[in-house]
Each structure stands twice: as C-alpha cells, then as structure tokens.
A and B are shown apart, each in its own frame.
Chain A
Amino acid sequence: MKVCPDMSSIAPPNLPGATKEPIWVRYLLISVALFFLALFLFVPLVSVFFEAFKKGADVYLAAITEADALSAVVLTLIAAVIAVPLNLVFGVSAAWAIAKFDFRGKSVLLTLIDLPFSVSPVIAGLIYVLVFGLQGWFGEWLSAHDVKVIFAVPGIVLATIFVTFPFVARELIPLMQAQGQEQEEAARVLGASGFQTFMKVTLPNVKWALLYGVILCNARAMGEFGAVSVVSGHVRGQTNTLPLHIEILYNEYQMAAAFAVASLLASLALVTLVLKYIVERRVQRELAQAKDAGVAA
C-alpha cells in the first residue's frame, strides 16, 4: 500500500491577494474603463441609429433608396470590388516572396509596404492629383485622349487602392514567416508543381489570415473618406461614394438622411467587427500552430 506524502506542509504558503488587487480596486478600474468606452464607443454607435430613425422609418427608407444614395452605393461597391482583389493578389505575392525566401533588402521592402498607413489620406489623394490631374505629369496626355482619372471613377479607385494597400500583406507575412517553408519544400520534393504546392499546401495553411486581411481591407475600402474626397469631383449621382454622400447631406442640413446613410456604413462596421471577432481566433490558432511546429522542429 502506497502512502501519499502529505504535501500541505511543503506547499508554498497560500497568499490570497498577493498577485491580485483588492476587490475595490478591481471594481474601480473596471468602472473607469467601462465609463471611458461607453462614452467614446457605445454612445456614438447607439446615437447613429437613433438619429437615423428619429424622423421615422419612412424618412429613413426614402433617404437610402433615393437615386443619389443608390448610385453612391454602386460606386462604393465598384471601388471595393476592384481594390480588394488587386490588393489581395499583391498581398499574396508579397508574402510569398518575403516569407519563403531570404533576400537582400527584405526589411526595406517590409517598411515600404507599410508606408500607405503612415501617409495622411489627404496626401494619398493629393499625390494622384499631381500625377493624373490636369496640371499633373500625365494631365495633358490624358485630356488629349479624353481620359478622365481625377474627378472621375478611376481616381476614386486608385485612391481606395492606396489606402487599403497593406492590409492583406500585413496579415499574411507574419503568419507565413512563422510557418517557414519546410512543408512547401516537402511538396516540391514529392513532385508537386509550384502551382500545386501553392494551392494545396500554402493556401490551406493561411486561409483564415487571408480572409481576415480581406475583411479589414474591404471595411476600409468602403469607408474611406479623406483620400477619395480629394480625387472625387463631388458630383452627385456620379462621383460620390457613400461617405461623400453623407458629407453632402450633412452640409445641406438633411440630418436624418445623413444619419440614415451613415447607419448603413455603421451596420457594415458592425458586420465587420463580428466577422473579425470570429476569424481573429482562427488566425491566432493558425499562428500558434505554426509556432508550435517551429519549436518542435
């Protein structure tokens, strides 16, 4: 018969509260944090929907089904539908080059990819005016060939691409770096083609991070204001995206209509947050797995 030794005599003394704050401190900190977040996040979010429905559902429906609003919806969708896939292709190829190969100038490239995030949206719009505007580098040539970029849809798309440029690449690069290249090398040695390796090994490993990048990219693409405002001619029904349409309504003191359109974008933000919350955990799991595999190897 085995006798269990009595551990209580050698266990460390129980010190309740030694690494915890007193209960009143805990409640105080939670209250202050919640008050701050309520004031800056929750109240604004609620007030968007409150203001939108203040004058009733009829005014709300009229505001979001009006012709100018609908054409703003269409333009916003066009900009996102072009910008997101292009940045997706760029993000994947940048991540492939950076994560799977060791080359000179990698850290410079990483910094340059992040550059659009540190540039003010207004400047993002301005630089395209300098290149494609009437007084810009290609201005004369473009107007001679009757092509409009600035104050037209192409300019809006370009500005949107610029401000959403790093999103996908940023999500993919750290994950693919952590995953290393052993699996792809194994696939190649076993006879898979480069394309097969990418589709069957790399892509399944990063699918959630890819989706995460696309969600963030899309949210920004549909909501961008500053950059788009510089290159848009603010022509109602033609070069207005949803955020610009909100500005026009607001400046015309059509508050209920402005908030009604704003509530569409706020709903998009809420959907983004929910998707982000769901996908974020899977991305963290992918990353944790990659790190564990790295430690094991």
Chain B
Amino acid sequence: MIFSKTLLRQRSVLPGFDLALGLTLFYLCLIVLIPLSAAFLRTTSLTWPEFVDVVTSERVVASYKLTFGASLLAAIVNAVFGLLVAWVLVRYDFFGRRFIDALVDLPFALPTAVAGITLTGLYSGNGWIGQYLEPLGLKVAFTPIGVFVAMTFIGLPFVVRTVQPILEDMASELEEAAATLGASRLQTFAKVILPILTPALLTGFALAFARALGEYGSIIFIAGNMPMVSEITPLLIITKLEQYDYAGATAIAVVMLMMSFVLLLAINGLQAWTRKRQGK
C-alpha cells in the first residue's frame, strides 16, 4: 500500500502496483544494488592516498591506455562499417540479404569464450587469416592489435542495430526534395541523411565503446596478456583477486564502474535525443 500512496501520480483501476513495484525493487536491490554498493563500501578500507596509489600504478595505467585506446578504435571502426552495413541492408536488395541481416547479431549470440578461441585461431601465425598478415609484418594474435580485433567483433552489431530502424523510417521526400533542389547524391547524404542519423550513430558508437571497455572473455585468449603491453583492465582485477588483494581489485573496479556510469548517462542522453529527433 505504501508505494501507491506515496509514489503514484494518478490513481488507477488496475491492481497490483504495490506488488509489482515491491517485487521489482526487492529483486533489484538483492541482485544489483546491494552487491554493487559492496564494491564502493569495500574501497573505504583503503585511505585516499592508498586508493590513488593503486589506481594510478604504472601497470594499471598501462592497462587503462590499452583498454581505452583499443575500445575507442574498435568503436570508430564499428561506427564507420556499421553505418555502411546498415545502409546496404536497408537500401539495396541483393542475394543473401536476409541471411546477412540475421548474421549481424552473431556477436550477441556467440558466447565470448567461443569468440575468443576462434579469433585467436584465425589470427595466429598459422591461422586462416594470420598466415597472410604475418608475412606483411602484421602480428595480430597475442598483441594489442588482437585486443582491438576482439573488441571490434563483439561491438559489431550495436551501430548496425541502432542506425537500421532510423534509416528504414526515413521519409524519401527529404532526399527527393534535396535532389530537386539540385543537390548531388553525396551532398544529400552529407547534409540531409547523415544529420538525421547522427544521434543514432553516436548512440551505437557509445554502446559499442562501453561494451568493449568491460569485455573480458573474448579478449583474454587473443591478447597474450603481457603486463604493460597487452593486459586489459578487467584482467588486472582478476589478477589482483587471485592474489587475494581484494582492496586493490575493488579499487580498480570502482574506477571502471565510474567510467561505465558516465557512459550510461551519456547513452541515456543520446537515446533521448534520438527519440526527440524522431518526434516520438
């Protein structure tokens, strides 16, 4: 009864608000909020200088650089190719289009460990792809480039799936008007189509970036995990945990959580912008 009296803005003939909200909040607290708060409370066992020491130590900073840089690069590649794939899937008809449309979600459906060992096999020196890259002096597996490849794989569907519906809904009148007014096809794309797609494109980019930042399973197989070179931040958390350094592991986790929360807010803002642009 407490929720319907305090929170409800408008009375309703429908029943079950107290039960539904009560159950939702109980489960949310039990599974998500209380355990997550443990991470923040646990860091208080460290003093501020100790905390700063842990999260800015040389090895940790090297892992931020790798994780952040590779995620950013992977998200950029996914934004460019995701836009291209969405465009091709919506605008052109070709043999196998539906099959490919369904296949785009593979990185969501394929368990990360499977993706990890598969990509490592493909890009290692005697793998299907690696054997052609190695003579060119390009080593992918067990280097930072491998981290980038795995991140690109797992982030691939995000941009396609955020841009695709906007492109499908786009009224052809806009492009016709631009053409009638004398715009070239490239001008129409750059000045009419791209601005409409921008919020969705940025949302997809941010989603891919956030996913890559926290990714673990597909990366540890291909990265080689050399300290200072190809060690990602989530792996450092596990390393500390295995050494029973709970405070250290938690401190790094808190830094990552803060980054995730900032990104989550940014994504929420971008999605609101997308909806506003779509007039929904």
Contact = CB atoms under 8 A, between A and B. Distances in A.
Interface string A93-118: 11011001111110001011111101
Contacts of B117: 246, 250, 258-259, 262
B103 A37 contact: yes
B147 interface: no
Given A121-B216, A181-B12, A262-B113, A126 B119 contact: no
A103 B8 contact: yes
A226 B118 contact: no
A296 interface: no
A126 B106 contact: no
B39 interface: yes
Interface in A184-198: 184-185, 188-189, 194, 197-198
A45 B38 contact: no
Interface string A117-136: 01111110011111101011
B94 interface: yes
A276 B214 contact: no
Nearest to B189: A21
A270 B92 CA distance: 25
A6 to B, nearest CB: 23
Interface string B88-130: 1100101000001011111111111111111101100000110
Interface residues of A, number: 102
A120 B34 CA distance: 17
Contact of B214 (A33, A120, A161): A120
A26 B97 CA distance: 14
A119 B206 CA distance: 14
B14 A94 contact: no
Interface residues of B, number: 95
Interface stretch (B16-24, B47-55, B196-204): B16-24
Interface in A17-73: 18-22, 25-26, 29-30, 32-34, 36-37, 39-45, 47-48, 51
Contact of A36 (B81, B102, B260, B268): B81
A242 B42 CA distance: 31
B136 interface: no
Given A123-B253, A243-B114, A276-B109, A115 B32 contact: yes
A274 interface: yes
B223 interface: no
Given A15-B179, A93-B19, A165-B31, A126 B10 contact: no
Contact of A262 (B38, B88, B114, B215): B114
27 contacts: A15-B180, A29-B92, A32-B84, A33-B87, A36-B85, A41-B104, A41-B106, A41-B156, A45-B110, A47-B122, A90-B24, A116-B32, A118-B267, A119-B36, A123-B214, A123-B234, A127-B36, A127-B38, A127-B253, A181-B14, A184-B14, A222-B111, A226-B217, A243-B111, A265-B111, A273-B102, A273-B109
Interface of B: 3, 6-10, 12-17, 19-21, 23-25, 27-28, 31-36, 38-39, 42, 81, 84-85, 87-89, 92, 94, 100, 102-119, 121-122, 128-129, 152-153, 156, 172, 175-176, 179-180, 185, 188, 210, 213-217, 221, 234-235, 237-238, 241, 244, 246, 249-250, 253, 256-257, 260-261, 263-264, 267-268
